[in-house]
């Protein structure tokens, strides 16, 4: 006979087991949340400072423009002729002739000829579509090589991946002798103010970033983004070089106000980019090696620069050109 005491002890054991399971679940959830937070922080830092780490290969627009457009395809009938040959060579046996199988087979082979003819039509239509597409590619390459601005915008939209660039906004200005990319970069307040790492215990460690580290992060973001913008533009356009300007909200020592000012300029040459293994370099040293102009100090961070010396006026920087 089960006593009330035994029942009470059983209930107690069950409740303790439930609580232990709940504690394990809470701990596991905490560990998973800590790991996610650390991973998210690391991905954010990678996005901000390593977007330049890609291979650089230019699209051969000149080669494409020099290709002779293909002629109209000739419709073939190889599939239909094969089906006709099968019908001609069909020789029913005595059993098929006697019991009607020959008529059914002849009808099937006749239907096969019609299907084969439709297949030849489909293959011809596909070939014509491919020829039309190739002609359009060649015509577009010729238009782009002529310096057409609308074609340049279309090439950027089709062939450049600016989604991985860590800037707030990007626009291009096309002039007679240069192409200028103007980016609105992140400011210090946009960057993460705390680092998140996962300790050996599994718990998340959240620590505030020092002012110096934030300023380094800002510099690396600007340099990495500028290089990636140049890479994407020079991959997509038939250019020998592209000018990149990055603006950011920084302290203007002349006015004492926080203003959006240029903090980075570089005329990136395609030849120079092709000579650098971008997948292995740090952003700031790479930008300096490629001829970038920026004014950075550990105490002040990125400081405004005068881009007028590079032939860039406020009119160009504030252009509404998309």
Contact predicate 262/247, CB 8 Å: yes
Give 301-316 pLDDT, tens digit per residue.
999 998 988 888 764 6
* Pairing label, strands 179-185, 241-252: parallel
Backbone angles phi, psi at 273, to 5 degrees: -65, -40
Q: What is the pLDDT of residues 96-126, one digit of tens each?
A: 555 556 677 777 777 878 888 888 899 999 9
Q: Please write the tens of the pLDDT for every residue from 201-213.
A: 766 677 888 889 9
Higher pLDDT, 83 or 316: 83
CB < 8 Å & 24+ apart, contacts of 114-123: 115/83, 116/79, 116/80, 116/82, 116/83, 117/77, 117/79, 117/80, 119/79, 119/80, 120/75, 120/76, 120/77, 120/78, 120/79, 120/80, 121/75, 123/76, 123/79
> Between 149-159 and 101-145, two packed helices, what is the crossing angle to 10 degrees?
130
Query: What is the H or E stretch that residue 232 is in?
Result: helix 211-236
Structure tokens at 106: 């002849």
- Can you spell out the DSSP letters for 14-39? HHHHHHHHHHHHHHHHHHHHHHHHHH
What integer pLDDT is reported at residue 322 of this predicted model? 46
pLDDT one-digit tens code per residue, 274-297: 999 999 999 999 999 999 999 999
Domain ranges of the chain: 22-47+164-317, 78-145
- Mean residue pLDDT across the chain: 82
Task: Report the share of the chain in percent with pLDDT over 70.
Answer: 77
User: What is the spatial distance between Cα 167 and Cα 172, in angstroms, rounded to a whole number?
Assistant: 14
* Nearest Cα to Cα of residue 55 among 274, 290, 284, 286: 274
Residue 11: predicted pLDDT: 47
Q: Rounded to an integer, what distance in angstroms lies between the CA atom of residue 294 and that of residue 267?
A: 12
Q: Which of 4-13, 22-31, 286-295 has the highest mean pLDDT?
A: 286-295
């Amino acid at each position: 006979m089960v006593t009330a005491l035994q029942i009470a002890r059983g209930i107690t054991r069950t409740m303790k087991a439930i609580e232990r399971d709940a504690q394990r679940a809470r701990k596991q959830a905490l560990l998973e949340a800590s790991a996610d937070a650390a991973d998210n922080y690391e991905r954010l830092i990678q996005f901000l400072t390593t977007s330049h780490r890609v291979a650089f290969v230019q699209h051969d627009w000149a080669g494409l423009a020099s290709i002779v457009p293909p002629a109209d395809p000739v419709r073939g009938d190889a599939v239909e002729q094969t089906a006709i040959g099968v019908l001609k060579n069909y020789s029913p046996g005595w059993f098929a002739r006697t019991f009607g199988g020959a008529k059914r087979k002849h009808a099937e082979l006749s239907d096969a000829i019609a299907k084969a003819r439709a297949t030849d039509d489909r293959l011809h239509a596909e070939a014509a579509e491919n020829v039309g597409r190739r002609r359009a590619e060649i015509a577009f390459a010729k238009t782009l090589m002529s310096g057409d601005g609308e074609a340049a915008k279309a090439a950027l939209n089709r062939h450049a991946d600016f989604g991985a660039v860590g800037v707030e906004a990007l626009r291009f200005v096309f002039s007679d002798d240069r192409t200028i990319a103007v980016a609105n970069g992140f400011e210090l307040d946009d960057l993460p103010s705390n680092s998140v790492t996962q300790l050996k215990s599994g718990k998340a460690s959240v620590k505030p970033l020092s002012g110096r580290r934030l300023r380094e992060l800002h510099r690396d973001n600007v340099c990495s983004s500028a290089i990636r913008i140049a890479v994407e533009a020079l991959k997509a356009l038939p250019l020998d070089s592209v000018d990149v300007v990055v603006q950011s909200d920084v302290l203007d020592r002349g006015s004492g106000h926080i203003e959006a000012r240029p903090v980075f300029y570089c005329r990136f040459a395609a030849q120079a980019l092709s000579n650098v293994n971008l997948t292995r370099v740090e952003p700031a040293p790479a930008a300096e090696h490629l001829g970038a102009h920026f004014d950075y100090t550990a105490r002040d961070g990125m400081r405004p620069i005068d881009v007028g010396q590079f032939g860039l006026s406020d009119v160009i920087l504030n252009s509404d050109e998309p």
